[in-house]
Amino acid sequence: MSIGASTIRLRISNAFGVSPLPITAVTIALPFNGSSGVSAIQPNTLQNLTFSGNSSIVIPNGALAVSDPVDFTILPQSELAMSIYLADGQTTNYITSHPGSRATTWLVNGNEVSATNITITNATEQSLAHW
């Protein structure tokens, strides 16, 4: 986060998608030790996000979704961990991504948005340096 705040909203983009993006659940938290790209969070900071009061949303291709405001205190220049669950997956490989993020992304099967530590347990799960 570039600036600090006590209330935040997250924007999730499907600007470059060619099909709708069906998001089932999203959580945010502060990462363990405030570090970027770690697999663990600070459990006492975990919060569910909603979109117009709903935990799920379908973002049309080419569109942007903005979460409802959530009380979440974060200091300037702090890291934020976000977990997204797509129960139905994606229908295409044309996705909106952030290849310059310079932080590890953790990909796992199943709904792990409330997990306090993501661990790689089988070959279908992985971590990526830039996504």
Q: What is the pLDDT of residues 47-86, one digit of tens each?
A: 999 999 999 999 999 999 999 999 999 999 999 999 999 9
Strands in the chain per DSSP E: 5-8, 11-13, 21-23, 25-29, 47-48, 57-59, 64-66, 70-74, 81-85, 105-107, 126-128
Higher pLDDT, 2 or 9: 9
Which pTM does this prediction carry? 0.87
Per the structure, the complete domain to which residue 37 belongs is given by: 5-128
What pLDDT is attached to residue 123? 46
Question: What's the structural domain count of the chain?
Answer: 1
Higher pLDDT, 111 or 99: 111
What pLDDT is attached to residue 39? 86
Phi and psi at residue 35, in whole multiples of 5°?
A: -90, 150
Q: 116: which 2 tokens?
A: 């306090």
Query: What DSSP state is assigned to residue 97?
Result: -
User: pLDDT confidence of 35, banded at 50, 70, 90?
Assistant: confident
